[in-house]
C-alpha cells in the first residue's frame, strides 16, 4: 500500500524566510495533492500535480512533483504569518487517497 511521509513534521520559521517541505511516497503515482488545514478547520485544496515535472505556484507557495524520485516539494517564499497552518500531501492508491502525517508550520515575526 502507498505510504506517504512528510519532512519536517514541525516547522517554525521567521517571517521573510524561505523553506521547503518534502513529501515522499512509496509507490508509483502520477498525481499528488497538497492541502492546507487551519487549526480547528477543515482541509482546503492548494495544488493538484498531475504529471512528472509539474510545477504550480500560488502566491508565496510553489509545489513540484518528481514522479521518478517519488518526491513532491512545497516551497515557501518570504513566509508571512498567514501561512501558519498544517500542510498535508496526499497521493492516490487505486481508489483511495492516502494522506501524509502533515507538516505543522508556524511563522513567527
Q: Which is nearer to other proteins, 62 or 98 (by Cβ)?
A: 98
Q: Which is nearer to other proteins, 68 or 95 (by Cβ)?
A: 95
The footprint of other proteins (CB under 8 A) covers 4, 31, 33, 35, 42-45, 48, 50, 88, 90, 92, 94-102
Q: How far is the CB of 77 from other proteins (least distance, A)?
A: 22
109 Cβ neighbours under 8 A, 6+ residues apart: 14, 15, 81
> Quick one: which of 32, 25, 29 has its CA closest to 7?
25
Q: How far is the CB of 54 from other proteins (least distance, A)?
A: 13
Strand partners, 35: 45, 88
Amino acid at each position: 500500500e502507498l505510504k506517504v511521509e512528510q519532512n519536517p513534521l514541525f516547522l517554525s520559521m521567521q517571517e521573510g524566510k524561505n523553506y521547503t517541505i518534502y513529501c515522499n511516497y512509496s509507490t508509483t503515482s502520477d498525481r499528488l495533492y497538497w492541502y492546507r488545514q487551519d487549526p480547528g478547520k477543515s482541509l482546503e485544496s492548494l495544488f493538484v500535480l498531475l504529471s512528472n515535472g509539474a510545477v504550480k505556484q500560488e502566491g508565496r507557495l510553489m509545489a513540484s512533483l518528481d514522479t521518478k524520485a517519488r518526491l513532491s516539494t512545497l516551497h515557501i517564499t518570504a513566509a508571512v504569518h498567514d501561512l501558519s497552518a498544517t500542510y498535508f500531501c496526499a497521493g492516490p492508491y487505486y481508489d483511495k487517497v492516502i494522506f501524509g502525517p502533515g507538516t505543522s508550520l508556524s511563522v513567527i515575526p
